[in-house]
């Protein structure tokens, strides 16, 4: 879904999201949060990539070109793309790939090389691969269908990439098991890493506390934070993944 954002007075960042009203009546009542897929500065448009699953996305799929949609944002905390970064690694599964596409776009604009590992059930489910390649990312595809998406196989692939491309930062979204893997590898390699969390949100403004997660502090204690407000992007080192 491409929307005209020419009246948006706040710059959107990769990793942030918008809360979208999916219909004009009272059902579905709650808005749906969608991460930013692409930020097109030249045309002042934003793009959102989603799978049609429930009533909310079904209603969105029925919106025609030229019609208006009620959205608000950008919300939350985006990714940190550090200056003079070397090569970044992106690891995503399913619709989590959409969240990292805007990051690949931003990296390309800053002259930062990127490598992406995209995981899905089948080859047909590998979203945004062409878009990432269009941003200059080197893309590796792993699927359940091909038997290449297991944790140990992905570990070997990451270790190979670490050697070949000298990764200096890593980002992930969409899979808890792959996020736990990257969390372990990032700690071993002592590299900067962030995760974009996906949660069901009630208000998306930090009021309802429906989308919480645990963060581990430097002293070993944990505290509960709101994904919509303090996140959805967090330091991968700090997030408690169970």
Q: Which two tokens stand for residue 161?
A: 């990439």
Residue 32 assigned as binding residue: yes
Q: Which residue has the tokens 């670490």?
A: 162
Write the CA distances from 148 to 38, 90, 153, 202, integer angstroms: 28, 17, 6, 36
45 class by beta-carbon count within 10 Å (0-12 exposed, 13-18 middle, 19+ buried)? middle
Residue 35 assigned as binding residue: yes
Residue 56 assigned as binding residue: yes
Find, among 228, 233, 235, the residue nearest to 75 by Cα: 228
Residue 122 assigned as binding residue: no
Cβ proximity of 28 and 59 under 8 Å: yes
Residue 211 assigned as binding residue: yes
Residue 27 assigned as binding residue: no
Q: Which two tokens stand for residue 215?
A: 């963060």
Return d(Cα 131, Cα 168) in angstroms, integer.
Answer: 23
Residue 33 assigned as binding residue: yes
Residue 208 assigned as binding residue: yes
Binding-site residue numbers for [2Fe-2S] cluster are 203, 208, 211, 228
Binding-site residue numbers are 32-35, 56-57, 203, 208, 211, 228
Binding-site residue numbers for FAD are 32-35, 56-57
């Amino acid at each position: 879904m491409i929307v005209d954002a020419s009246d948006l007075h706040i710059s959107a960042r990769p990793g942030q999201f918008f809360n979208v009203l999916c219909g004009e009546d009272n059902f579905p009542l709650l808005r749906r949060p969608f991460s930013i897929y692409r930020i097109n500065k030249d045309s002042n448009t934003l793009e959102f990539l989603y799978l049609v699953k429930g009533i909310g996305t079904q209603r969105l799929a029925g919106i025609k070109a030229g019609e208006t949609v009620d959205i608000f944002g950008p919300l939350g905390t985006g990714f940190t793309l550090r200056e003079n970064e070397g090569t970044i690694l992106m690891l995503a599964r399913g619709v989590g790939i959409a969240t990292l596409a805007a990051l690949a776009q931003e990296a390309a604009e800053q002259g930062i090389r990127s490598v992406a590992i995209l995981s899905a059930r089948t080859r047909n489910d590998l979203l945004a691969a062409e878009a990432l390649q269009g941003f200059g990312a080197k893309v590796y595809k792993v699927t359940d269908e091909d038997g290449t998406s297991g944790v140990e196989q992905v570990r070997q692939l990451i270790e190979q990439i670490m050697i070949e491309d000298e990764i200096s930062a890593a980002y992930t979204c969409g899979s808890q098991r792959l996020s736990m893997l990257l969390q372990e590898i990032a700690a071993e390699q002592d590299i900067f890493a962030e995760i974009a969390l996906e949660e069901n949100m009630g208000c998306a403004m930090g009021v309802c506390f429906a989308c919480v997660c645990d963060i581990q502090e430097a002293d070993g204690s944990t505290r509960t934070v709101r994904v919509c407000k303090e996140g959805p992007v967090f330091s991968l080192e700090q997030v408690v993944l169970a």
